[in-house]
Amino acid sequence: MGVLESARADARGLIAKLTLEQKVGQLFMLAFGGKDLTYAKELVQERFISGFYISQDNADTVSEAQKLTQSLQDAAGSANHDLPLIFGVDQEGAWGVAVSETTTGPGNLALGAADDTSLTREIYGIYAREMMACGYNVILSPCSDININPDNPIIGTRSFGEDRDRVARHVKAAVEGALNNNIVCCGKHFPGHGDTSEDSHRLLPTVDRSLPYLLDQDLVPFQAAIDAGLPMIMTSHINFPQIDPDFPATLSSKIMRDLLRKKMGFQGVVVTDSMNMWGMRKNYDPAESAILALKAGCDIVMLSEEHYEHDATNYAAKQKATIDGVIKAVETGDLALNVIEDALERIFCLRIQLTINAERSEQGVQDIATEKHRNIADLASEKAIRVVRDRDNLLSLKGKVNVVGLSGADAHEMVVNTRGIGPNDPRAAFDVLCDELLKSSECSGSGVATDAGQDIQILSELELQHYLAGESCFSAEDIVVAVTEDYPLPGMDYDVDFQKERLDRLVQITKGKMVVCALRSDYELRSHPDLSTYVAAYSSRACAAQAMARFIIKAIRGEAS
């Protein structure tokens, strides 16, 4: 008997011992708010759920993560769970957990820009080792979407790029890096979220593409991941009317069974994107959507802690009502017992693999954010930087250089305070860039005197406001280096409009003869055809900001390319 057949036999034996309530409970991966584990333990011990979606709300630090996961695994053991719980985290680069202590790297878009699959493989190996050291055993990544629509508000830097084949190469490398380092990874958002102009955290987008088109574009990275042994796939809450005119992907058997299972050959676990996202909640009752998802071929119903109404008072009741609704559907025959038992077999095989991974993994806190890990992240960040445009050869940066941040003094606050998932970097990328500039040469007043004899002046927010108002604070020969940022936030938008207004004004004042250093994607360049010089880091992570600062110093020294 092979390993997979043995795991399936073990899974079937475990399933046979369960009551209906225990079977249904283990179809769910749920979440809880804050750090009090009382309710989480209740879900494990009384509702028998398979695992949790964990966010920064639940654990800010590595130490907290280790205590959380161990406490909940102990609770599962005391309730006679035969297999370890799933702890899924959005460790994907542009999003992350415990980001002040772990190595996020610059994120997927930067890795795609660097286009070195060995680096992508190493970065995802780092994610695996560091998350396992935290007690997290599933990373809900890599994002396998292609940036087909540049106006997409939620994918952006989470994708490896806009070229199908490049994305596929890096998705494959990411899967290999994760699996080779003993963690379960999850491709998302099937069958593709890159061709939307709407965020499914808020709406139910529509992608009006044919199946042949999807097979030729969006699905290529997913097929590469499946061929590399991807154990888990996350759905998307998106309508694909040319494939299924009646249901969004998560609830569509035509997409989940006919396309994913039969045509593409995926045999692993299918987990829904959070059923608590507005795109789903606005259109379906929670129990109804869970039942439809299971009928369609999903294995795990996931509800993450989404505070779009900033009111979680009824969240626990909704979770329990959803589980009860599925139990009732099985009891009445609306949902066939064999459907959930087939799903459980796949879930239990995955959780058996978690046991094997834990035995193989010997990661500890000493393996988190090591010098080696930081060096790899720095190398990836530096290789990602691209000179997208330099019409007037301004990158020699001869003369006084005035560095300005366009986001505004309080713009970054929402990134760290609004939600438990997402960027969560404690400091704005622009501030990190400035600190790195100040470290790179001797400080002279509020600027930096460089070895080349030029001067880098970092303008304050007040000085920038005066300059934008037409009050000149430097000469026409000075070079303006404007820094832009963006952060992919679920359910809301970073204030890029304010940033764009300021950039428009700077382009007007300088007649386009200025340098933009983008700590984000380069899609904003479409709105500024008159801009002379544009350099992109494809990331707002701290390591990317530091790499951009080093690029600026090299440009002043005549070493940039």
pLDDT digits (tens, 9 = 90+) for 291-346: 999 999 999 999 986 554 445 557 788 899 999 999 999 999 999 999 999 999 99
Place of tokens 């993560």: 65
Mean pLDDT confidence for 117-126: 98
Tell me which of 170, 193, 201, 412 is the catalytic residue. 201
Is omega for the bond preceding 529 within 30 degrees of 0, making it cis?
Answer: no
The reply to whether omega before 191 is within 30° of 0 (cis) is: yes
Q: Is 201 a catalytic residue?
A: yes
What pLDDT was estimated at residue 271? 99
- 464-473 pLDDT, tens digit per residue, is 998 899 887 6
Whole-angstrom distance, CA of residue 310 vs CA of residue 548:
36
Query: Is residue 27 scored above 90 in pLDDT?
Result: yes
DSSP assignment string, 471-514: ---S-TTSEEEEEEE----TTS---HHHHHHHHHHHHHHHTT-S
Residues 6+ apart with CB under 8 A from 469: none
Is residue 73 helix, strand or coil?
helix
pLDDT, tens digit, 9 for 90 and up, residues 152-176: 888 999 999 999 999 999 999 999 9
pLDDT value, residue 454: 53
CA distance 462 to 468: 10
pLDDT, mean of residues 190-197: 94
The residue-averaged pLDDT of 246-271 equals 99
Determine the Cα–Cα distance for residues 112 and 171; give it in Å rounded to an integer.
10
1-15, 283-297, 322-336, 486-500: the lowest-pLDDT one: 486-500
β-pairing, 301-302 vs 401-405, is: unpaired
- Domains of the chain (ranges; CATH) run 27-367 (3.20.20.300), 386-556 (3.40.50)
pLDDT tens digit sequence for 412-456: 777 776 556 666 678 899 999 999 998 876 334 354 444 444 578
Q: Of 489, 496, 316, which is closest to residue 419 (Cα–Cα)?
A: 489
User: Which pTM does this prediction carry?
Assistant: 0.95
pLDDT at 313: 59
Strands in 7-133 per DSSP E? 28-30, 51-53, 86-89
How far apart CA 78 and CA 294 sit, in angstroms, is 28
What is residue 276's predicted lDDT score, i.e. its pLDDT?
A: 87
Set 57, 90, 273, 425: catalytic member: 273
Contact 186, 232 (CB under 8 A): yes
Pairs from 337-341 (Cβ < 8 Å, separation ≥ 24): 339/294, 339/295, 340/23, 340/24, 340/27, 340/294, 341/15, 341/23
> What per-residue confidence (pLDDT) applies to 306?
54
Q: What confidence category does residue 504 fall into, taking pLDDT thresholds of 50, 70 and 90? A: very high
Q: Encoding tokens for residue 394?
A: 């301004």
The whole-number pLDDT of residue 448 equals 42
Q: How confident is the model at residue 94 (pLDDT cuts 50, 70, 90)?
A: confident
The terminus-to-terminus CA distance of the chain in angstroms comes to: 57
Alpha-carbon distance of 161 to 173, in angstroms, equals: 14
Tokens representing residue 434 in the block = 């400035």
| pLDDT (0 to 100) of residue 451 | 45
Question: pLDDT tens, 346-388?
Answer: 999 999 999 999 998 876 678 898 999 999 999 999 999 999 9
**How is residue 205 written in tokens?**
């987008």
Using DSSP bridges, classify how beta strands 86-89 and 51-53 pair: parallel, antiparallel or unpaired. parallel
Per-residue pLDDT, 426? 81
pLDDT at 450: 44
State the DSSP string of 191-244.
T-STT-SS-TTTS--B----HHHHHHTTHHHHHHHHHTT--EEEE---B-TTT-
Nearby residues of 209 by Cβ (< 8 Å), 6 or more positions away: 195, 217, 218, 240, 242
Cβ-contact 307, 419 below 8 angstroms: yes
**325-337, pLDDT tens digit by residue?**
999 999 999 999 9
**Could you tell me the CA-to-CA distances from 115 to 43, 45, 378 in Å, in that order?**
43, 46, 15
Sheet hosting strand 479-485, strand order edge to edge: 386-390, 533-536, 515-519, 479-485, 401-405, 455-458, 447-449, 442-444
Q: Cα Rg for the chain, rounded, in angstroms? A: 24
DSSP 317: H
pLDDT at 453: 47
Cβ neighbours for 452, distance < 8 A, ≥ 6 positions apart: 556, 557, 558
Q: What is the pLDDT of residue 558?
A: 82
Residue 458 host element (H or E)? strand 455-458
Residue 185 has pLDDT above 60, yes or no: yes
pLDDT > 90 fraction of the chain, expressed in percent and rounded: 70
Q: Single out the residue of 165, 167, 179 nearest to residue 268, CA to CA.
A: 179
Mean pLDDT of 237-242: 97
Ordered DSSP codes for 20-33: HHHHHHTTEEE--S
Tell me if residue 497 is catalytic.
Answer: no
Q: In whole angstroms, what separates CA 522 from the centre of its chain?
A: 18
pLDDT-derived band at 491, boundaries 50, 70, 90: low
Instruction: With a cut of 60, say whether residue 228 has pLDDT above it.
Output: yes
Q: Read off the tokens for 255.
A: 């997409």
The answer to whether residues 94 and 107 touch, using CB atoms and an 8 Å cutoff, is: yes
Q: How many CB atoms lie within 10 A of CB 356?
A: 12
Token pair in block for residue 178:
């994760």
Contacts of 453 (CB under 8 A, 6+ apart): none
408 vs 298, which has greater pLDDT?
298
Q: Which of 459, 472, 483 minimizes the C-alpha distance to 535? A: 483
Of 472, 527, 483, nearest to 504 by C-alpha is 527
